[in-house]
């Protein structure tokens, strides 16, 4: 089972609530408990946002023990919603990136490092790659 909650606490289409941090961890714990009761060894994964604004408001150290993998969605960093064009799935930061603030950290390397620095073992992290392009007019 892969859980795709976009996004606990942070904003996506709608903004989450502060208590969603604890709710997310509790949901992962309950899913793990229920899966193990049915058949131990079933995979439980999550798809999570890769922006630092999405990562810092949750507690990966608390929820990762219940998961087999964390699928980091390192795409859609930028798109037609931005005022300037930019890489939608940058691997590393670029000195030419016009972004400021948190968006300056919208790249795969910084996302993976953010999870590792918060206690997630690298072996649990999967790099999500979008196999499509974005266009600007």
Q: Which residues are catalytic?
A: 6
Rounded CA-CA distance 110/127 in Å is 12
How far are the Cα atoms of 8, 9, 12, 47, 93 from residue 17, in angstroms, in the given order?
7, 5, 12, 19, 30
Helix (H/G/I), strand (E/B), else coil: 46: strand
Maximal C-alpha separation, the chain: 52
Helix (H/G/I), strand (E/B), else coil: 121: coil
């Amino acid at each position: 089972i892969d859980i795709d909650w976009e996004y606990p606490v942070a904003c996506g289409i709608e903004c989450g609530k502060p208590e969603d941090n604890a709710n997310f961890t509790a949901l992962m714990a309950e899913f793990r408990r229920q899966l193990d009761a049915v058949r131990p060894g079933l995979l439980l994964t999550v798809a999570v946002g890769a922006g630092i604004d999405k990562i810092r408001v949750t507690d990966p150290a608390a929820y990762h023990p219940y998961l087999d993998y964390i699928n980091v969605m390192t795409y859609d960093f930028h798109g037609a919603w931005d005022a300037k064009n930019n890489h939608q799935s940058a691997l590393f930061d670029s000195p030419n990136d016009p972004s400021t603030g948190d968006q300056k950290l919208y790249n795969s390397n910084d996302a993976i490092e953010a999870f590792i620095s918060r206690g997630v073992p690298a072996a649990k992290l999967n790099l999500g790659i979008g196999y499509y392009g974005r266009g600007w007019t």
